[in-house]
Amino acid sequence: MQTQKELIQQGFQRAKLTYAQNANVQQAMQQKLLAILHKHCKARNLGNILELGCGNGLLAQNLALNFEFESYLAVDLVDFSNDFIKIQKDTSHKIDFLQADFEDLVKIGNKNPDLQYDLILSNASMQWVNQWSFLPQLSALLQPNGILAFSTFGTENYQELRASCGIGLEYLELKDYVEILQSDFKILESFGVRIPLRFSSTLALFKHLRDTGVNSLQRGFKLNKKLLTDYAVRFHNVLTYHPIYLLAQKRSLESKPKDSPSNS
């Protein structure tokens, strides 16, 4: 039996050729994340960058067109190495790609063992990991005052799917991220938006999910005619996205809260 990570990898591997044409929400999230970076990162050179869940490299490419940096390591479960070879040629920036589970921070750390990053980025990917345990670990990879900037999805994401089919991920609320990050980070930006998409049919909606790689939400899930009909009647072929955005700065030792667990 396949593991959940293998199912995720398989879903996004199958969607490699269709993702860019169908992931309009994820691409809009990437643009918003760039705008947030422009707002908070005044330096033209962003130093050493780590991107987690990089996909086909659109964020890396746009970042290379807008900023300078010393190094860039992009990590994804699916092999996008050829995409990054092209990005390097198009932008004249050296961007390294590592195929790995981005929860494997030991493997990522071994890639550049003496390096602490100035910026850790992730777009529309954190929802696939246990964020309660994973996000606090990122502090060790960042320089003091380094930036963690990411977009992910909130609790209302795919709410229609959860109500009709009983499938979905365990999404977090914004207040959860404050709780997770506040001991090691100062949160500079955090907000969410809701984006309802309407499809021509329920079948088109599920095709959209498949073409964006999101067909591994529930092991063994099967579509049937009754489900399609019920969804159309209840939700009129609408699917809600709930992107949320966070940008946080790693605290220096002097600025950590007195009751931080790391100081106990």
Question: What does the pLDDT read at residue 232?
Answer: 96
User: What number is the average pLDDT over the span 138-154?
Assistant: 97
Kindly give the residue spans of alpha helices, DSSP state H, lying in 92-224.
105-111, 131-134, 159-165, 174-181, 202-211
pLDDT over threshold 80, residue 67:
yes
Tokens of 135: 């996000």
The pLDDT > 70 percentage for the chain reads 93
Check: CB of residue 239 under 8 Å from CB of residue 199.
yes
Provide the mean pLDDT of the chain.
Answer: 92
User: Which residue segments constitute the domains of the chain, with CATH numbers given?
Assistant: 4-155+170-196+240-263 (3.40.50.150)
Backbone Cα Rg of the chain: 19
Amino acid at 207: K
Per-residue pLDDT, 1: 61
Q: How confident is the model at residue 253 (pLDDT cuts 50, 70, 90)?
A: confident
Task: Grade residue 3 by pLDDT with cuts at 50, 70 and 90.
Answer: confident
Supply the pLDDT for residue 217. Answer: 63
If you average pLDDT over residues 170-179, what whole number do you get?
96
Q: What confidence score (pLDDT) does residue 263 get?
A: 44
Taking the whole predicted model, whether its pTM rises above 0.85 is answered as yes
Element (H, E) at 62: helix 58-66
Q: Is the pLDDT of residue 203 over 80?
A: yes
- Asked if pLDDT for residue 104 goes beyond 70, the answer is yes
Q: What is 21-85 written as a DSSP string?
A: HH-HHHHHHHHHHHHHHHHH---SB--EEEEES-TTSHHHHHHHHH-B-SEEEEEESS--HHHHH
Residue of 110, 23, 102 whose CA lies nearest to 59? 23
User: Could you read off the pLDDT of 223-247 as tens digits, one per residue?
Assistant: 899 999 999 999 999 999 999 999 9
Q: What φ, ψ does residue 148 adopt, rounded to 5°? A: -110, 120
